[in-house]
Structure 1
Amino acid sequence: MTAGRLVLLLCLTHPQAGKCGVPHIVYSKERDYVKLPCENVIAKDCSTTTWLYSTSGTRSTVEVVNRGKIKSDNTNIADRLKLEPDCSLKIINITSQDARQYICRQFLTEDGNQKGEDSLVYLSVLTVSSSIPASEMKADTNVTFYCHLTIHDRIQNDKGDTKIVWTGFNQRRVKDEYPYNISFTRTLTKEDKNRKLQCKVESKGELKATLDYIINLQGQDGSHPVGLIGAVVGAVAVALCAFLIFLWRRKKAKRETANVRSENVSTNVPKEKTEHERKTSGQSKQAPGDQGVTYVEITITANIRKSSDKPTAQHETEYATVKTMC
């Protein structure tokens, strides 16, 4: 038996995904990345590998990798492609438009014929959306939520092995036939803020991909960005006013304290005696060593009669002792 017949017999009796024309199905979610395997690589440096894709319902193909090099002329997808060391095709930032049939082929020479069979990959993409943008969702608003699985074509699920499951609000909905699209409508409440909804893909009883949707309610509860900024600015303004009032009162108290001290100092300073007070008070003497004792000399004029009975003026000096506190 020749090698060609042996390969054909193996393909008929044991078909494998990606080989012998049997597609390899890959599931991904929107905005994620994915690696599409190539099962017929000849040269390990990928110099013989060419990648193409075909759109649903057509036989035409678009070449994106030619003998190991990404073609930059395909602007719709070229900047999101990368050829991995094992010659698999990596696609980043997946969109629903990337759900196509991808073909990996081998060419020994640039102008030569194809070597071996195609390695086929079907890419399916899971997306979720809503009838109202997330930035406009409010309580008491009716919103419809959608979960959709985009596949290459209906032939992909002839056996009915694939289904999508939508969970949320204590509900579970299942769609197991083409087209894969589930939706439901709900009137939102305040309790739905930050609630997580989830859509997932199951194939042959295995979980293939999941995608979450978080409800972000906007409203008067401070969740709206504008309201939050306004509250912060208001709080800062109040704090600044309180701080300025505190500084004003503190300066006022310091000025009042300074005035009171100035008045006390002025009342404690002894006043200088006038000329009249110095004359009437007499002269004061203080004996050495008699601290705290002041002697005041007072002159008194008295009339003293002599034997001639004529009054004669005579000055006499008397001393009075006055104690003063030092």
Structure 2
Amino acid sequence: MKGMKNPMRHLLLTSLLLTGVWCEKDAVFVYSRLGGGILLPCTNLVSPDCSLISWTFYSGRQISYTQIVIGGRISANSDKSTRMSVTSDCSLRLHDLSSDDAGSYVCQKHENTITNVYLSLLAVTALSKITDLQPGGNLILSCILFTYYDAGSCKSYSNVFSLNWATEDGTVLPKESRYELIGNNCCNITLVTKLRREDNNRKWRCQVNTTEESRTVFQDFTSAFLFHNPSTAQNPILSSAMDCPVQLPISRIVLCVALPVLVIIVGFFTWRGDHKRPKTSAAGFELQEFS
């Protein structure tokens, strides 16, 4: 049985990939972010009778093939059941997306394939320590596209998309010595940046570029300097506080100096008076004894 199981998996995977490659009119590539939402369309329906529609899901990462919608109704056995709904046109809506949701979704009618939907998800991870987020430190950001086949795995059939790092407005980062790309491919791209003072609270954007007419999907990261020490010129409040003693009026300076001196003098005479009293009392006591 074990020997038959693997060939069946390979056969299933091959059939799914061939369907995605050769039946381009029925193939739809969609992209979203981790934690976001997405609509998986079931196209080319003559009459949207959802009671005849089923959805199946294939995960290349887990090598699993499951039926998530049967007869227009969500399967209770699916781990996506609480995050999934079927629309009036039989499309599938998913929210709170996780990396396990990346994969191939097939819309079927009477077990005949109508649409193959390939979902890929974008994720940005900071690999730098918090103490590195300061001028002169290195900011390391990893951007991975969890593809419909496997996370960060770019096969020949996945040339419909690519990744790049950009500024907040979507402009690709210029070729400068402080920007270094590591492991650059269309599904996995890591940015290493030597931070400057002006990079505080700056947004760094990883975005997906596709060959199809679809909206750009991106994920931002803000480099906030938690240990940022601004210069004296940039902190007028601190500067004023340091210059305060020089700017005080003469009367206030005299008061500040005279008051502590007065306290010391009063304290000294009080201590001296208290010190003499015990001696006088003791001497009187002794005189009474001798008399």
Shorter-chain TM range is 0.5 to 0.7
SS in 2 for 1:120: strand
- 2:159 equivalent to 1:152: no
Relative to structure 1, is the Cα distance of residues 221 and 80 closer, same or farther in structure 2, using a 3 angstrom cutoff?
Answer: farther
* Number of the residue aligned with 1:29: 33
| Structure with the larger RCO, 1 or 2 (CA within 8 Å, 6+ apart) | 2
AA in 1 matched with 2:89: D
> In structure 2, what is the equivalent of residue 181 of structure 1?
188
Aligned to 2:260: none
Q: Residue by residue, what CA displacement relative to the aligned partner does 1:244-269 show, whole Å, maximum 9, x if unpaired?
A: xxxxxxxxxxxxxxxxxxxxxxxxxx
Could you say what secondary structure the match of 1:191 adopts? Answer: helix
Name the aligned partner's letter for residue 54 of structure 1. Y
Q: Secondary structure at the match of 2:39?
A: strand
In the alignment, the residues of structure 1 paired with residue 157 and residue 92 of structure 2 have an alpha-carbon distance, to the nearest angstrom, of 26
SS in 2 for 1:65: strand
**Change in 2 beyond 3 A, CA 1:103/1:176:** farther
Q: Which runs of 5+ in 2 are unaligned?
A: 1-18, 231-291
What's the counterpart of residue 121 of structure 1?
A: 117
Of 194, 216, 225, which aligns to 2:224? 216
Query: Could you tell me which residue of structure 1 aligns to residue 166 of structure 2?
Result: 167
1:222-244 deviation line (CA, Å, top 9, x unaligned): 9xxxxxxxxxxxxxxxxxxxxxx
Matched, 1:62 2:69: no
Deviation, 1:216, is: 1.8
| C-alpha separation in 2, matches of 1:174 and 1:134 | 21
Assess, with a 3 A threshold, how the Cα gap between structure 1 residues 82 and 133 changes in structure 2: closer, same or farther: farther
Contact 1:38/1:119 (CA < 8 Å) preserved in 2? yes
Written as runs of structure 1 = structure 2, the 5 A alignment for 1:272-283 is none
Equivalent residue for 2:101, pick from 98, 108, 116: 98
Question: Structure 1 residue 72 and structure 2 residue 76: aligned?
Answer: yes
Segment of structure 1 superposing worse, 79-88 or 178-187: 178-187
Native 8 Å contact 2:144 2:188 kept in 1: yes
- Deviation of 1:96 after TM superposition, in Å, equals 2.6
Q: 1:82 to 1:159 in 2, by over 3 A?
A: closer
2:155 & 2:95 partners in 1: Cα distance? 23
Greater fraction of residues in strand: 1
In the alignment, is the contact (CA less than 8 A) between 1:160 and 1:176 conserved in 2? no
In 1, the alpha carbon distance for the partners of 2:192 and 2:183 equals 20
TM-score by length of 2: 0.57
CA distance in 2, matches of 1:135, 1:104: 49
* Identity percentage of aligned residues: 24
Encode CA deviations 1:22-45: one digit per residue, 9 max, x unaligned: x21112222221100112546534
Say if 1:159 and 1:144 are closer, same or farther in 2 by CA, change over 3 A.
Answer: closer
CA distance in 2, matches of 1:134, 1:106: 52
Select the structure of larger CA radius of gyration: 1
Q: CA deviation digits over 1:31-65, x for unaligned, max 9?
A: 22110011254653411111110111676411211
Cα displacement (A) at 1:157: 4.6
Quick check: 1:81–1:89 contact (8 Å CA) kept in 2?
Answer: yes
CA distance in 2, matches of 1:177, 1:132: 18
How many pairs were matched up?
Answer: 199
Structure 1 unaligned segments of length 5 or more: list them. 1-10, 108-113, 223-326
1:74-89 to structure 2, matched below 5 A, reads 74-75=78-79, 77-89=80-92
State how far apart, in whole Å, the 1-side matches of 2:139 and 2:182 are.
Answer: 20
Contact 2:38 2:93 in 1 (8 A): yes
C-alpha displacement at 1:122, in angstroms? Answer: 0.5
Query: Quick one: structure 1 residues 134 and 106, their matched pair in 2 at CA, closer, same or farther if it must change by over 3 Å?
Result: farther
- Structure whose residues are more often helix by fraction: 2
2:127 corresponds to which residue? 131
